[in-house]
Structures are given as structure tokens and as C-alpha cells.
């Protein structure tokens, strides 16, 4: 039974890990866009 918990936690860890990576990329992009907007002013 422990194995089942282990397996599913690994699965969700990987999926959420990937979404965190995506989120970080998105934040970095947002910061760059803000910076470029600032440059404009």
C-alpha cells in the first residue's frame, strides 16, 4: 500500500514540479515585459 502512496506522490510531484517551472518562466517573462514597458516611459 505504501508503494501506491509513493507512486502517486511521485506522479503529482513531477506534474506540479513542471507546472512550477512553467510558472517561473511566466514570471520571468512578465518581469521582462514590465522592464521593457518602463524603458519606454
At CA 19, angle to CA 35 and CA 3, rounded to 5? 155
Q: Rounded to whole angstroms, how far apart are CA atoms 35 and 28?
A: 11
Which set of grid coordinates corresponds to residue 32? 521582462
Q: Within 1-41, which residues bind other proteins (CB under 8 A)?
A: 1, 3-4, 6-8, 10-11, 14-15, 18-19, 22, 25-26, 29, 32-33, 36, 39-40
Nearest approach in angstroms of CB 1 to other proteins is 5
Q: Please enumerate in sequence order all residues whose Cβ is within 8 A of that of 31, keeping only pairs 6 or more positions apart, or say none.
A: none
Residue ranges that bind other proteins, judged by CB under 8 A: 1, 3-4, 6-8, 10-11, 14-15, 18-19, 22, 25-26, 29, 32-33, 36, 39-40
Amino acid at each position: 500500500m505504501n508503494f501506491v502512496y509513493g507512486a502517486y506522490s511521485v506522479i503529482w510531484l513531477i506534474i506540479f514540479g513542471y507546472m512550477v517551472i512553467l510558472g517561473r518562466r511566466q514570471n520571468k517573462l512578465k518581469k521582462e515585459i514590465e522592464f521593457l514597458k518602463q524603458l519606454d516611459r
